[in-house]
Structures are given as C-alpha cells and as structure tokens.
Structure 1
C-alpha cells in the first residue's frame, strides 16, 4: 500500500525532510559504488572496442600487403600510362621494352538487312554462331515483332557476351529497322553469324565475314587481334590485355596507344617497397598507441592523484603486446640470411614501443636485396605477417579473447542493473518503515501533548476555585 507521509502536526517535526535525509544518507554509498562501477565498466567496454578496431585494422593492412604485389622486388612502369598500363609479377626480369601498337583487338558487330515495321515472324529459332564456338539457339514465338525478337535474344543469351538491339534510320523511316548484334569477345575468328530455321526468320540471317553495305546484311566491324611490336618484333594478341608476350609482365593496350611508341620499364620496386613497409609500421604503431593510451597511468601535476586508462592492469593486454613484440624480434628463416629480423631493414623499436625506420639503411637493402623483403614479410610459411596474424587472431576472432572480455563486461552491466533494482526496493522499504515509525512517534507526541494540556487546564481550573474560596 502507498506510504502515508506524516505532516508532523503532533510533534511539530518536518517528518518528510527527516525521512528523505535518512534514506538519502543510507542510499548514497551504494549508489556511488554502483555509479563508479558502471562508469568503469563502460570505459572498459569502450577500451576493448578500441583495441579490437586497432588490431583488426592492423590485420587488414597485413592481409592486403601480403596478398598483392606490395612486396614485389620489381615494378613495371609505363612512359605513357594513358596509352599502356603495365604490371609485373615476381617472375619478371629487369629490363626496358619499346612497344608500338598498330591496331587494337576488337569484337564483332553485325547488322541484319532492313526489316519492315509491320513484319511478324513465324515461330522457329535463330542459330547464332561466334567463330568456331558452339552455336547458340534462340527460340522465337509465333507472330513476334522485331523488338520482341530482340528481347528474346537478350533474355535467352544473357551472360553469353552477345547482345542485340534495334536500329532505325530517322532520315529514312520507311525502310524499316534492323537488328544489330554485338559481342564482347575480341580476337580474330570471333565473328558473329546468324541463321534462321525457316524462311521468315531467315530474313535475319547474317554472314559475319561479309561487309555490310547499303541495306544488306553483313559485318560493321570484324573481330580482330591486337597487333603490336616489341622492340621491332611483330606480335599479336586476341585481347587488349596482353599476357605472356614478355615473361612476368601483363600490359593493357588502350586506344591512345595506336600508332604511338611507349616504353615499358621493369626495375627495382623502391617506391612500392617503401610505401608497403611504411604502411606496416604505421598500422603497428597505431596498435601500440591505442594500447599505451588504454594502459597508461597519468600522474596529476601536483602529484596528489593519478588517473589510469580504461584497461590499466589488464593482464590480457600485457600478454598480447608481449606476444606481438616477441614475433617482431624472432628471426625469420627466409633462405637468405641477410634479412632475418626487422633491425636488418633498419626498423627498430623506440622507447614508447612504436617502430621507427632508418631510411638510409632501408634504402640500401631495397637497392641491394629487394627480393628478400617480400619473403621476410609475406612468406606463406613463416613470414612475419602470417606469424603476427596467427597470434592476433585469437584475440579478434568471433568467440576470441576480446569477445569473451566484452561478454564478461556486459554481464557486469547486467549485474549492476540488478543491484540497482534491489537497492531501490530496499530503499523503498526503508522509507516506508521510517515513515511508519515517525508517524507513530508523531501521533504519540500529539496524544501526550493533548493529555498534558488537559491536565494543565484542570490544574488551572482547580487553582482558580481555590483562590475564589479564599
């Protein structure tokens, strides 16, 4: 039942203020304790999240650096990247090549003869060939218009690389329209041909080896190879992406290259190696900065107090950083004794735990032994990236150390919430008990006061009668 708040009429006391003060005094220590615990737990949850984000960013950086050409010993450059782009693999050999492009690879595009706008085709099929590839069949419904034939082709040949569209001549609207077939396959011998299964559909027949002229069917462009010269040697490719012409390099021909000379150079990947190593160092240093911030104890200027990071004293953080630092300093057997630890590259640990690069030493290694750098960092068996990722994964993976840490902290928040509810109920009970006690006291004081006043009145009356008799 609701608490009855006394007004102190009997005693003259402010019962509500007294009870409120007593309840607040009783409640304050526990409330303050729970507030501190909640604040600390929230900070720890945030700290775990910051650490996990930094570790995952570090893992992502290592994964990207290790999976691509970031640590290739050689790099390919083009004197005119707008004409030819080039990439080198690990099997490339240093050298310079003069490329002259005479024509680009192109795909087949053919046109049917003009078809009257009122034409309705008989049911049947179209057989569409692409050079010596197996022909494709498209079924055509009875009474289909030219637009409906186009739609059937595109729907049934989706993903084949062959598409069709309707083209009309606005200057001569009475001649009708034609179908234009296009292919994405480049290279000599990839010409489109079309044949119909009946007289009606044979109106759409095209011989892809005959040039289109006037209103007749034929090719608009023929499929052809790219033709180019490397240092004067005539070569060809079915596609504009040329692989295998020069061992270890792939280059892409663009329209701007036709008739132009372009120089491709394969040389030490100095810039790429520097950038890759710097990215690794920066990502690692961010992890160190985050952990330092989360575990640092800061003394007040006057020395009277100290404040700590969200994860001060957390043993799992110390274990993580000890493990990571151990991998940084463990020698790697790459088959080349010249680079076995980071210090051989001029990368050393500073007093605050971050890494710093001795650029002069690194530059010398890149010039002398660039092929060793990739094996040290990105070796698939015992490269630094793999060993570091193996150690960090136990912290960042689902159900890992940091996930368990977060779950435990969330459990603490749940416990705090339960304790608050229990404390609130206890304080409500205390308040009710105090009101009952003070209301009873107030009532008793009121009764005693009333009795006292009655006795005083009787005595006064008795005194007055005695005086009158005298």
Structure 2
C-alpha cells in the first residue's frame, strides 16, 4: 500500500511524515550501528590494501639487489666511435684494451654480365646451382614455369636450402648507352668468406629465348665486392671473424666495427663497473624502505582524540600484522650479514644508515669507497645467502603470498562487509514493513475520526433545526 501524500482528511494529521518518522525511529539505530561496523571494516580493508601496495613496491626495489643484477651494471667506452662502438652487458670483465681494425667484414656482391632486354626476357631451361664456401648449396630447376629473369629472381629467393644468397634486378643503361637493360644481381646474405658463393649453369633445352644459364655462372659474373672477414688486433693478438659485430673476443662485450683504423693508431676500449647505476639501485631501495616505513607509521598511528571517536587514528592501529611487518623489516634490515665476504657485513658499513625516526639515507661517498675497496663484499651485503635483500625477499614473499596473513584478513573483511550489507538490506525491508503497518493503522484512525466528525456535524445540524 502506498503512503498517502496529503494530510489526513479526518484528523488533519500529516500521516506521511508521522509514519516515516516513527518507522525511522525504530530502524535507524540498527542502520547506524551496521554502518559504523561497515565503515570500520572498510577502513581496515583500505589500510591493508595500502600496506600491501607499499610492501609490493619494496619487494620490487629489492629484487634487483637480491639476484645481484644491480651489481653487474657496466660502463663501456671507445676512444673513437667513428671506428668502433662497444656495449657491455652484465657479465663483462672490467679492463682497458687497445684495438686495431685491419679490415672490415664484407658480403660478396656480383652482377651478371649478360644484358636482358627486360624483366620478362626468357632463359633456356636447365639447372642453376649455387654453392657457398661454408658448404651449403641449392639448385634451381629452370623450366616453362620460371624461365624469365623476374621469375628466376623469385625462384632463387624462395628456394629451399637457400641460406646464403639474395637475388635482385637492376635496370640500367646497356653497354652502348642507347637503351635500358636488366641485369641479375646476386648478394650474399651475410658478411665473411664463409658466405662467399659460386654459381654454375647447365642448359638442357631452349624455351623461346637465347639466354643460356651458363651466362649466369661465376665465370660471367662481375664481382663488385669480394667476400672477406673482419680482422682485428686486440692488445697485439689477432682475431678473425665473419661479422663486423663481434661478441666473442671480449666476453660480455659487443664490438661493432665501423671503419679501419690507421696504422699504429689503435682505438682504446674501457670497460668498468657502473658505480652510478649501482648507487641508483640502492637509492631506489632506500626510497622504497622509507615509503614503507612511513606507510606503516601512518596506518598504526594513534590520533590522540579525547572524545572517544578515534578521529585521526591509523586504519590499522593495534593490528598484529602491522606490528609484525614493522618488526621484521627493521630487524632484517639492520642486522649483520653472516654470509658477506671481506670486511663489509652491514648496510651501515657501506653508507646506508637509519636515524632515530626510522628514516633511511645513503652516503654515496662512503658507498663508492666501499665499492672500490671490496666490490664483492658490498654485493654480498645484499645478495649473498644471508644478504639483506635475500632475507627481506623471503619475509615479503610470505606476507604477500595468496593465503598469507594480509590476504586472509582482506578475504575475511570482504566477507564481513558483504554480511553487513545484507543486514542493511534486511533492516530496510523491515523499515518498509513497519512503515506500511503504521500507515494502515493511521489511515484507519483517520477514517474513524472522519466518521465521528461527520456524525457530530449531523447531530449538531439536527439539534439546531429543532
């Protein structure tokens, strides 16, 4: 039954307003209590999410330190990048080297002397054979399906077993410069003598053309570029390679040759540990630690309210998981490292300190001195078996894993919020029922009052008429 929107006709009472107020008075205390519980649960759930995010960021920061990759950052330089460019990876060995480039690697390139009238000019049928110095080979059978210059080019490029040569066509002036002719160009796919190639042709018939396959053989090729290997000398030791990008002379270092060096004018190569990159990785760790420390403090702070409202308190004040996180992070960060080699076995000794307020900072000068004195020992402080990053990673993994303490609390709080929402729905349903019942009663009362008034008016009028 809908609520009457006007004042009761019999009693003159605003039934709608009165019914709503009475129904609200009966159900609102329950709704308020449910909402307070829900707000508390939501605040704790949000707090756990904030804590989990800070822990995850901290975990990311320590991963590079845990696996040691941060300490494998290297710098590399060449004294003449117009001749040589170099890059060093994580496994490069530090050192200075003198390098001369005697010759660059080149790919063989040849142009057939025979001049075709056009790309569709026909060839004789037969077999065209290609062989590489490396021993690889393949054959092309020329017949009515591919006996034009254009189709032969495509057949060479698509041939099974062709790993070493590419074919193309150029349209150029003929020898007398009175017209344009087409020529077949053959280029090795790779540099180096092993990729050099030879061609032989055997005719077995004539299919409407007069170009013999033997005219495409090596004897009739104009060699534009001879295949050759790169030859370098590093600290007086000669190395010959098929490519101008050399990765196996200095392990972990790629040498990209660009030009020959002048006689007795070597290029100087420097490979070293990138201390700045290492300092940046440790600074990232320091920043993530401070963010986590600040987050933990804010989540567990006491606001000091005197009215009992708890205003200003952290979302996880008094939470045992929060206390565990604070304790474990502090203990595993400040403790000594038993597995560290050398004289450096703690963060404090390599320039990482924590003040009374719990704020971590890095002394870059002290860190660089430690790296110069005993690089491996500094790395061990983080990445050895008992290293700071190693043991922190173990603790964080337990905290962040599915089914861990934080995840379990989040699951429980989500269930609590869901139940509280169901309770709110139940109270709202009861509100509607109470409202409907009161409305029915007041409408009945209003109707009775209206009848009494009507009877009274009748009697009054009757008496007055006597």
**TM-score class, shorter:** 0.7 to 0.9
> 248, 254, 258: which one pairs with 1:255?
258
Decide whether aligned partners of structure 1 residues 412 and 274 sit closer, same or farther in structure 2, where only a CA change above 3 A counts. Answer: same
Structural mapping, 1:199-210, within 5 Å: 202=213, 207=218
| Alignment check: 8 A CA contact 2:107 2:227 kept | yes
| Alignment check: 8 A CA contact 1:45 1:406 kept | yes
Q: Equivalent residue for 1:339?
A: 344
> 331, 334, 347: which one pairs with 1:329?
334
TM-score (ref. length: structure 1): 0.78
Q: Equivalent residue for 1:178?
A: 184
| Alignment check: 8 A CA contact 2:353 2:362 kept | yes
| Alignment check: 8 A CA contact 1:110 1:219 kept | yes
Decide whether aligned partners of structure 1 residues 410 and 174 sit closer, same or farther in structure 2, where only a CA change above 3 A counts. Answer: farther
Report the more deviating stretch, 83-92 or 326-335.
83-92
> Which whole-Å CA distance do the structure 2 matches of 1:284 and 1:374 have between them?
18
> Which whole-Å CA distance do the structure 1 matches of 2:402 and 2:4 have between them?
55
* Shift in Å, 1:435: 0.6
Which digits, 9 at most, give the CA deviation of each residue in 1:106-133, with x for residues without a partner?
4444555655422467999876544325
Q: Equivalent residue for 1:87?
A: 88
Q: Equivalent residue for 2:97?
A: 97
Q: Equivalent residue for 1:13?
A: 13
> Which whole-Å CA distance do the structure 1 matches of 2:143 and 2:28 have between them?
85
* Shift in Å, 1:179: 4.6
2:450 is paired with a residue of what secondary structure? helix
TM-score (ref. length: structure 2): 0.79
Structural mapping, 1:210-229, within 5 Å: 216-217=220-221, 219-229=223-233
Q: Equivalent residue for 1:290?
A: 295
| Alignment check: 8 A CA contact 1:72 1:374 kept | no
Q: Does 1:118 align with 2:120?
A: yes
Q: Equivalent residue for 1:434?
A: 438
Structural mapping, 1:282-321, within 5 Å: 282-299=287-304, 306-321=311-326
Decide whether aligned partners of structure 1 residues 100 and 308 sit closer, same or farther in structure 2, where only a CA change above 3 A counts. Answer: farther
| Alignment check: 8 A CA contact 1:76 1:265 kept | yes
| Alignment check: 8 A CA contact 2:105 2:229 kept | yes
| Alignment check: 8 A CA contact 1:86 1:264 kept | no
* Shift in Å, 1:16: 0.9
* Shift in Å, 1:438: 0.8
> 190, 194, 202: which one pairs with 1:189?
194
| Alignment check: 8 A CA contact 2:77 2:85 kept | no
Extract unaligned runs of 5+ from structure 1: 211-215, 466-470
Which digits, 9 at most, give the CA deviation of each residue in 1:425-458, with x for residues without a partner?
2221121111111111111211222233334444
* Shift in Å, 1:220: 4.1
| Alignment check: 8 A CA contact 1:193 1:205 kept | no
* Shift in Å, 1:18: 1.1
| Alignment check: 8 A CA contact 1:104 1:258 kept | no
* Shift in Å, 1:356: 1.4
Q: Does 1:449 align with 2:453?
A: yes
> Which whole-Å CA distance do the structure 2 matches of 1:406 and 1:141 have between them?
75
> Which whole-Å CA distance do the structure 2 matches of 1:139 and 1:282 have between them?
68
> Which whole-Å CA distance do the structure 2 matches of 1:44 and 1:309 have between them?
9
| Alignment check: 8 A CA contact 1:206 1:218 kept | no
* Shift in Å, 1:13: 0.4
Report the more deviating stretch, 34-43 or 308-317.
34-43
> Which whole-Å CA distance do the structure 1 matches of 2:195 and 2:301 have between them?
68
| Alignment check: 8 A CA contact 2:354 2:361 kept | yes
Q: How many residues align?
A: 450
Decide whether aligned partners of structure 1 residues 21 and 2 sit closer, same or farther in structure 2, where only a CA change above 3 A counts. Answer: closer
Q: Equivalent residue for 2:145?
A: 143
Decide whether aligned partners of structure 1 residues 20 and 349 sit closer, same or farther in structure 2, where only a CA change above 3 A counts. Answer: same
Q: Over the residues paired in the alignment, what is the CA RMSD in angstroms?
A: 4.0
> 390, 394, 399: which one pairs with 1:395?
399
Report the more deviating stretch, 109-118 or 99-108.
109-118
* Shift in Å, 1:366: 1.7
| Alignment check: 8 A CA contact 2:299 2:314 kept | yes
2:55 is paired with a residue of what secondary structure? helix
Q: Equivalent residue for 1:363?
A: 368
| Alignment check: 8 A CA contact 1:61 1:280 kept | yes
> Which whole-Å CA distance do the structure 1 matches of 2:402 and 2:140 have between them?
50
> Which whole-Å CA distance do the structure 2 matches of 1:122 and 1:399 have between them?
76
> Which whole-Å CA distance do the structure 2 matches of 1:49 and 1:441 have between them?
55
Which digits, 9 at most, give the CA deviation of each residue in 1:364-414, with x for residues without a partner?
3122111212233223x4433332222212333455544444444443443
Decide whether aligned partners of structure 1 residues 296 and 451 sit closer, same or farther in structure 2, where only a CA change above 3 A counts. Answer: same
* Shift in Å, 1:286: 2.8
